[in-house]
Structure 1
């Protein structure tokens, strides 16, 4: 029998299958991933060292989707805003991955390089060394929540009546429908955070 021209298993297939699995189940195990790929768990170890490396590969794939590293050439506030939009959209496309990546340590050199750029931009803008990681972490926490909100149902508060909660009913009626609700909340929150960072910098 002739050998296949393309390998049955490679790192790209593994990471794509892992992302689909986590999107569907919210978790990643080697047996489950092997089942998704219809191979034995031992076959995966010919290509990856283990679960931690697969998580790193998933993170690298999302970073690739986030895109242009030259965003950090912009002024700090524009850089944070541009990064926030790309970051949110990438994670919103894979909401199941949010919990997994948000709780996995950042041990990959490519992630260290990205954060090195971000820290340099913020320090050059005038943020104190003891403020920089707080600025980054607070923004990331907001972005991860916003990504989950984008994947949530358009209506998150239902069964509201004007008789019992008229102010809430009126506020909900003023909110855009469909994705517009999450987009509006994200833009308001992002503007507020960057305005707060400007005040922190000025102080």
Structure 2
């Protein structure tokens, strides 16, 4: 029998399929991934060593879909960091269901190292101390990932508030958007506050 012109499996297909599954179901299992690809589970191990490598391929698929490096590190550090935060959030927002898995798996991929290298250089050049830089990146990432999840959350997260027992909260909610603008305004407000706080942490 002649060999098929296009292989049934390759690493890029595996990563893209895994990203779809986790985005839809929130979990990743080898049997589910094999079903999605229409192969036996054992066939996957001809291309990947296991779950950790599949997660790495998911990150690669996400990077291919979205321009997480579409920012200019030669800008003033606050502008560049804001641009990075926005592109990073946009990338994760397209696959918010995968955020819990991707955010808790160690980052060993060279393309991820290259991204962090640019951010680290940006912050060091701005004058932050070496001991501050990873903490600042982690703090900003935590906010970005939470904001990506907020984009797919219901527009109204706090509801049915009795005005008699919580009058201040009710008044606040009266002046809060009840559509997608809530998440966008929350992200803008939080990002502005973080960058202002980062500036205050610059060594004198």
TM range (shorter): over 0.9
Cross-structure match for 1:198? 199
Check whether the contact 2:85–2:144 (CA below 8 A) recurs between aligned residues. yes
Paired residues for 1:121-132 under 5 Å:
121-132=122-133
Q: Which has the higher helix share?
A: 1
TM-score, scaled relative to structure 1: 0.92
Quote the offset at 1:155 in angstroms. 0.7
Measure, in 2, the Cα distance between the counterparts of 1:37 and 1:78: 42
After TM superposition, list the pairs within 5 Å mapping 1:103-122 onto structure 2: 103-122=104-123
Kindly tell me: are residues 99 and 159 of structure 1, through their superposed partners in 2, closer, same or farther at Cα, counting changes over 3 Å?
same
Aligned length: 203
Report the Cα distance in structure 2 between the residues aligned to 1:95 and 1:54, rounded to whole angstroms. Answer: 18
Matched, 1:49 2:44: no
2:81 aligns with 80
Distance in 2, matches of 1:77 and 1:41, equals: 47
Name the SS of the counterpart of 2:201 in structure 1.
Answer: helix
Is the aligned partner of 1:28 residue 2:31? no
Deviations 1:42-62 (A, max 9, x none): 111222222211111111222
Gaps of 5+ in 2: none
1:23-69, Cα deviation, whole Å (9 max, x unpaired): 12212122221122221011112222222111111112223313335
CA distance in 2, matches of 1:51, 1:202: 42
Name segments (4+ residues, structure 1) moved above 3 Å. 1-5, 66-70
Mapped to 2, the partners of 1:143 and 1:67 lie a distance apart of: 13
Taking the aligned partners of 1:163 and 1:69, their CA distance within structure 2 comes to 49
Residue 172 (structure 2) pairs with residue 171 (structure 1): yes
How far is 1:103 from its partner? Answer: 1.0
CA distance in 1 between partners of 2:51 and 2:90 (Å): 25
Corresponding residue of 1:147: 148
Answer with 109-118 or 136-145: which moved more.
Answer: 109-118
Deviation string, structure 1 residues 89-139 (Cα, Å, up to 9, x no partner): 111111121111111111112211211111111101000111011110000
Provide the secondary structure at the position in 2 that maps to 1:158.
coil
